[in-house]
Amino acid sequence: MFFFSTVARAQTTEARQLVGDIAVEGNRTLKKKTVLSKVKVRKGDIVVDPAFRADVDRLLETGQYEDVEVSLEEMPELLDAQGRPQVRVTFHVEERPVIKRIDFKGNLKLADRKFRDEISSKPQEPFDRFKAAQDVEKILSIYRDEGYADAKAEFYTSSQPKVNKVILTFFMTEGSRVLVKSVDVMGNETFSDKKIRRLMKKTRRGKVFKEESLRADLEEVQKYYQNRGYAEAQVSPPARVFNEDHTSVALTLNIDEGRKYTIGNFSFTGATLFKENDLRKALTIKSGALYQQEKLDESQHNIQELYADKGYLRAEIVPENITQPLDEERGRVDIHFSITESSVVYVDRLYVDGNTYTKDQVIRREILLKEGDIFSAGKVRRSVERIYNLGFLDDVQVDVQQPRSPDTADIVFTVQEGKPGILSAGAGYSSVDSWLGTVQVQHINLFGLAQRVNLTWEFGERKQNYEISWTDPWFMGKRMSFGVDMFNTERTIPDAYKDHRKGFGLRLGPRLTDTLSLIHDYRYANVRIFDVDPSRDIQPSHDIISSLTNGFIHDNRDNVFDASRGMRNSVSVEVAGGPFGGNQHFYKPQVSSAIYFPTFWKFVFSLSARGGFVHNFPPSKDVLASERFRMGGVDTVRGYDLDEIGPREYGRAMMVFNAEYKFPIVQERNRTILQGAFFADVGGSWKRGRDVDLGIGSQGDQMRAGVGFGIRFKTPVFPIRLDWGYGLNHRPDEQISQFYFTIGNIF
């Protein structure tokens, strides 16, 4: 209700009065400045709208007031420049009472906590009748989900006028829980009653009857028909028959299967940007195949994506089914795509939301689109992948908005931050290092700038390791990473020797494009080999290795931590000695390639190939044993112990191939936490390059193969892998299978 009153002269249109004072009346718990903080009228303003409708609306929108009125009163003691009285504007507010507490009555089957988090009314907030009415519907929805179809609810308030507070009470009559007594099916000729009931996973005999579950199950049944040729199949809402006390219900489904159809011809109208052949390539459904609604929807989406990648975000793709009967049992569906291309859309503004610790620029620099660019759905998808690959964000959502013009769009990237700092301690068993304890302090978003720092201490029977590393992915604000590593490691190689090395490394990785980057790694290591097994042709030594590795990496994987598609390829050459100093002189070229194929759902098939060789040059007469290639074990060919493959003094050339098929077991927040894997490995190492034998077997220089399975568990710090490998080419005196417990990824 709006109200204003003033003297006759204030109501005339000839005299435009000035605001001399602003007052508030009726406020009991809110201070005057709190009320006035929401209004825009100020002293000295000209009175244009005596009702001050805009200010009243702003006050009511806060939800703190039941009613707001405005009155004007002349102030004879305060005149303007023309000698006319100014006016006092008074806002008369009626505050809504504050909710002191919320009670629930009559709920015997469901606990209070079931409702408190779901309702929108909260203690210490203003009471809103409309909100309370919505809460009643929410309570009833909860009861229906729990199977109480006859539940009733209402609310009432108990006032405490002196303190302007109310006690809000929700009173429930629960009724009886309804169970499904039976599910009968009528009209189905193609699929049996048993098959239909099996599709209805949530609405089965003995289960709690829920309307929402029933709707979902009916959609599943209809979808099942439509994905098997029955384009016109319809599943009507079932008849319900309740028993006398309303505790059970018998359901009868009525299915109209219709005719079975195959796909006929495809046609397109309205397309000028793409040729018909390009549009046909986007189709996942083919002529002559059974009609499948899912593939038709997927085809429509693919065409939509073609246009969105070109900036035509609002292109409309409408498939029309043209059914043509061929005989009594089978028909044909011709699909016509009606396309309205609309106009190209430009990016107006980019927003980043949800980040509290991470700096805006850290996320913005991963976004490939810029303000003023033509919108590209592909660049949006890739931007989301790049943001995920930062490693410290649990979720990334994109919202495309149209606030002003149909030819522009605002893009909002809403992120959810994870925990960037981790202190962890643990122990495990590795086939390489035996029992190993680990203490690690890691921060992957230092200062909110995406910098990574890692301090690790590993201790065990065969390994002692101290390591510190720091990485800045955008060094000095440029498109390149820079990192520093310091290490001090002593490792026992069983039945061979002990290796102690300490030193440091410097890493520089300029990024040429979104997927292509260079490698420049410098390594300085003081290496001592001692306690050599007399049966080995290895000499104790104390050397300095100073080397530089150069190469490039091409990486377009969707997720660097758990890829489901894309590939990673790298070529590098390490050169030690020569102009870099040290007393070890060698070069080590290496190549690697890994490719990932999504199959269905989140099942991923991956292939990897690696190869390399190492060769000394004068004045060095040989390559240190610690710089040669060791084969067998979890990182190369599983099913064999370390050093069971290749020369006894390790190889100067190597080649290994891995294949894995991974599938999710446990998921959290739509991410895989625990996954299984089947694998097959083939590899070998050789004393010299000319000894390479690509045959598979247990003789001489032949490569060896292994198969097996394993599980992968993702922790906040690192992935943990447990594998069992079975060697296919063992010699008689070797153990044919191995278990491996390791930390990290193979490729």
CA distance 61 to 67: 11
pLDDT in tens, 726-746: 999 999 888 898 888 766 544
CA distance 466 to 455: 8
Helix/strand/coil percentages in the chain, nearest 5 = 15, 45, 35
Distances from the Cα of 505 to the Cαs of 15, 253, 547, in angstroms?
A: 82, 70, 10
The DSSP bridge partners found for residue 100 are none
pLDDT at 4 (0 to 100) = 41
Is the pLDDT at 213 greater than 70, yes or no? yes
Q: Answer yes or no: are the C-beta atoms of 233 and 257 closer than 8 Å.
A: yes
DSSP-derived 3-state class of residue 616: strand
Q: What is the mean pLDDT of the chain?
A: 88
> Which run of H or E residues covers position 416?
strand 408-417
Structure tokens at 728: 């296919």
User: Could you tell me which residues come within 8 angstroms of residue 77 by beta carbon, excluding any fewer than 6 positions away?
Assistant: none
Instruction: Answer positive or negative: Cα dihedral of 452, 455, 459, 464.
Output: positive
pLDDT in tens, 629-688: 989 888 899 999 888 899 988 899 999 999 999 999 987 766 778 899 999 999 999 998
What strand order describes the sheet that includes 234-242? 179-186, 248-256, 234-242
- DSSP annotation of 97: P
CB atoms within 10 A of CB 515: 16
pLDDT at 164 (0 to 100) = 83
CA distance 516 to 518: 7
Is the pLDDT at 550 greater than 60, yes or no? yes
Q: Answer yes or no: are the C-beta atoms of 510 and 517 closer than 8 Å.
A: yes
Of 566 and 162, the one with more pLDDT:
566
Domains and CATH numbers, the chain: 8-95 (3.10.20.310), 98-173 (3.10.20.310), 179-256 (3.10.20.310), 260-340 (3.10.20.310), 346-417 (3.10.20.310)
Q: Report which residue type is found at 192.
A: S
Structure tokens at 697: 């077997």
Q: Report which residue type is found at 453.
A: V
308-340 b/e (C-beta count within 10 Å ≥ 16 → b) = bbbbbbbbebeeeeeeeeeeeeebbbebebebe
CA distance 614 to 689: 9
Q: Report which residue type is found at 127.
A: F
Cα 328 → chain centroid: 49
Structure tokens at 716: 């906040």
CA distance 59 to 44: 21
pLDDT in tens, 70-129: 999 888 888 887 788 889 999 998 888 888 999 999 998 888 888 988 898 989 888 888
pLDDT at 641 (0 to 100) = 85
Q: Is the pTM of this model over 0.85?
A: no
pLDDT in tens, 2-48: 334 433 333 443 457 888 889 998 887 788 888 888 888 888 888 88
Assess whether the previous peptide bond of 619 is cis (omega < 30° from 0).
yes
Q: Answer yes or no: are the C-beta atoms of 483 and 463 closer than 8 Å.
A: no
Q: Answer yes or no: are the C-beta atoms of 604 and 661 closer than 8 Å.
A: yes
In this prediction, residue 256 has a pLDDT band, given cuts at 50, 70 and 90, of very high
Is the pLDDT at 521 greater than 90, yes or no? yes
CA atoms within 13 A of residue 601's CA, in its CB half-sphere: 10
Instruction: Answer positive or negative: Cα dihedral of 223, 227, 232, 235.
Output: negative
Q: Average the pLDDT over 550-560 and give the result.
A: 94
Is the pLDDT at 424 greater than 70, yes or no? no
